[in-house]
């Protein structure tokens, strides 16, 4: 059973969430949307206004002489940092985006380096925290297993076995959410493109590194017992990982993608499979479907979708996790 403090926090978030659309809402509207009593909405919105989280403006009603206060989130009150690193076409880079609670981009960028270390990430966070002292939480993406705050089996070996969450939280006193990049990407895709009850899988074949996969079932990312779910580069293809990497080139990789998709369908039964990555071309979706038709009954075949660029979904997933981290630590 939830205690009083937990119920209050849950109610606060319900009201805060409806204000994320950037529009102004009255206490009466908040009550109708959330199902909370007007008294509860009144108390919470007054607290938010006192803290500076929201701003209230009088709004005329239809009746002469009557007015009500409409509240909107204060864009200057807090911000959230999405940051990550990756290896694409043999080039290392780290990237970032700072957003307001309603999703406005305050800063973004990408830096390419011959070598990237945790110290580079720390320096960038330090710089951004100085520029945006209202940062509330950090979401960090990694092309690796994200195991209880540690990075394992990373595409960038210099990050292997680094306790990055502990390092960042101790230095900057902010909550940090670390997750595999594919988990963020599929979660962002689900939030932007899918129905609530959907199951969706993304298969990513970037070239030069092992492929990745992410799946959401009814809003929940499938991560596995210790975050290893989706590491399709470890499927038993009958060759070594080194031989697999040599085969992940244009013209030779397609059998791996097709077999990966055919393995996913009976296990997870997705409604949609998104194909993406530098190696994937538009016509490959139909070729993968034809391969799957050989073993999968027609009625269980998913919709195959080619998405050439999933960066925005990546940031959408990270942004949502950063917000969740804020409320988890609140």
In whole angstroms, give the CA distance from residue 90 to residue 209: 9
In whole angstroms, give the CA distance from residue 133 to residue 148: 27
CA 100 to chain centroid, in Å, comes to 16
Q: Which CATH superfamily is domain 79-183+312-329 in?
A: ATPase, nucleotide binding domain (3.30.420.40)
Cβ-contact 264, 304 below 8 angstroms = no
pLDDT, residue 101, reads 97
Predicted model pTM: 0.94
pLDDT, residue 58, reads 77
Q: Would you give the end-to-end CA distance of the chain in angstroms?
A: 19
* Contact residues for 37 (Cβ-Cβ < 8 A; gap 6+): 31
pLDDT, residue 248, reads 86
Strands annotated E in 19-157? 25-26, 54-60, 67-73, 79-88, 91-100, 105-113, 135-142, 145-147, 150-152
* Contact residues for 27 (Cβ-Cβ < 8 A; gap 6+): 38, 41, 42, 45, 68, 69, 71
Confirm whether 79-183+312-329 and 194-309 share one CATH topology: yes
CATH topology of domain 194-309: Nucleotidyltransferase; domain 5 (3.30.420)
- Cα dist. 74→13, 30, 62, 80, 204 in Å? 15, 17, 26, 14, 37
What are the pLDDT digits (tens) for 182-215?
Answer: 999 999 999 999 999 999 999 999 988 889 999 9
**Could you tell me the two tokens for 108?**
């973004």
pLDDT, residue 296, reads 96
Instruction: Tell me the domain boundaries of the chain.
Output: 4-73, 79-183+312-329, 194-309
Cβ-contact 20, 30 below 8 angstroms = no
- Cα dist. 129→34, 133, 136, 321, 328 in Å? 33, 5, 10, 18, 20
Question: Could you tell me which of 174, 184, 118 has the C-alpha nearest to residue 151?
Answer: 118
In whole angstroms, give the CA distance from residue 169 to residue 238: 42
The widest CA-to-CA distance across the chain, in whole angstroms, is 78
Tokens 């390092």 belong to residue: 167
pLDDT, residue 64, reads 52
pLDDT, residue 244, reads 84
Cβ-contact 16, 74 below 8 angstroms = no
Cβ-contact 134, 108 below 8 angstroms = no
In words, the CATH class of domain 4-73 is: mainly alpha
Please list the pLDDT of the chain residue by residue as tens digits (330 residues).
889 999 999 999 999 999 999 999 999 999 999 999 999 999 999 999 999 999 998 765 555 556 689 999 999 999 999 999 999 888 999 999 999 999 999 999 999 999 999 999 999 999 999 999 999 999 999 999 999 999 999 999 999 999 999 999 999 999 999 999 999 999 999 999 999 999 999 999 998 888 999 999 999 999 999 889 998 888 888 888 888 888 888 878 999 999 999 999 999 999 999 999 999 999 999 999 999 999 999 999 999 999 999 999 999 999 999 999 999 987
10 Å CB burial of residue 180 (0-12, 13-18, 19+) is: buried
In whole angstroms, give the CA distance from residue 253 to residue 207: 9
Cβ-contact 208, 233 below 8 angstroms = no
Q: What are phi and psi of 128, to 5 degrees?
A: -70, -35
Going across the sheet that includes 176-180, the strands are 105-113, 91-100, 79-88, 135-142, 176-180
pLDDT, residue 266, reads 96
């Amino acid at each position: 059973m939830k205690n009083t403090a937990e119920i209050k926090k849950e109610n606060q978030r319900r009201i805060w969430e409806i204000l994320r659309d950037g529009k102004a809402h009255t206490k009466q509207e908040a009550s109708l949307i959330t199902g909370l009593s007007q008294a509860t909405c009144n108390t919470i919105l007054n607290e938010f206004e006192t803290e500076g989280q929201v701003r209230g403006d009088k709004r005329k009603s239809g009746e002469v002489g009557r007015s009500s206060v409409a509240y909107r989130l204060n864009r200057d009150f807090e911000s959230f940092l999405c940051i990550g690193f990756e290896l694409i076409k043999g080039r290392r880079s780290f990237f970032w985006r700072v957003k307001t609670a309603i999703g406005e981009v305050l800063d973004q960028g990408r830096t390419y380096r011959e070598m990237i270390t945790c110290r580079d990430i720390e320096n960038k966070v330090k710089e951004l925290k100085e520029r945006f002292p209202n940062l509330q939480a950090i979401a960090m993406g990694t092309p690796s297993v994200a195991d209880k705050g540690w990075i394992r089996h990373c595409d960038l070996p210099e990050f292997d076995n680094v306790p990055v969450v502990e390092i960042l939280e101790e230095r900057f006193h902010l909550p940090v959410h670390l997750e595999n990049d594919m988990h963020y990407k599929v979660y962002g895709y689900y939030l932007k493109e899918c129905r609530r009850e959907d199951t969706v899988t993304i298969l990513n074949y970037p070239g030069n590194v092992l492929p990745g996969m992410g799946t959401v079932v009814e809003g929940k990312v499938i991560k596995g017992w210790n975050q290893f779910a989706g590491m399709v580069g470890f499927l038993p293809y009958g060759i070594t990982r080194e031989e697999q990497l040599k085969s992940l080139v244009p013209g030779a990789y397609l059998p791996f993608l097709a077999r990966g998709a055919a393995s996913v369908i009976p296990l997870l039964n997705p409604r949609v499979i998104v194909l993406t990555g530098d190696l994937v071309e538009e016509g490959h979706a139909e070729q993968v479907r034809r391969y799957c038709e050989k073993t999968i009954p027609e009625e269980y075949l998913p919709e195959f979708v080619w998405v050439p660029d999933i960066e925005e979904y990546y940031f959408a997933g990270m942004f949502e996790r950063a917000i969740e981290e804020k409320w988890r630590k609140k």
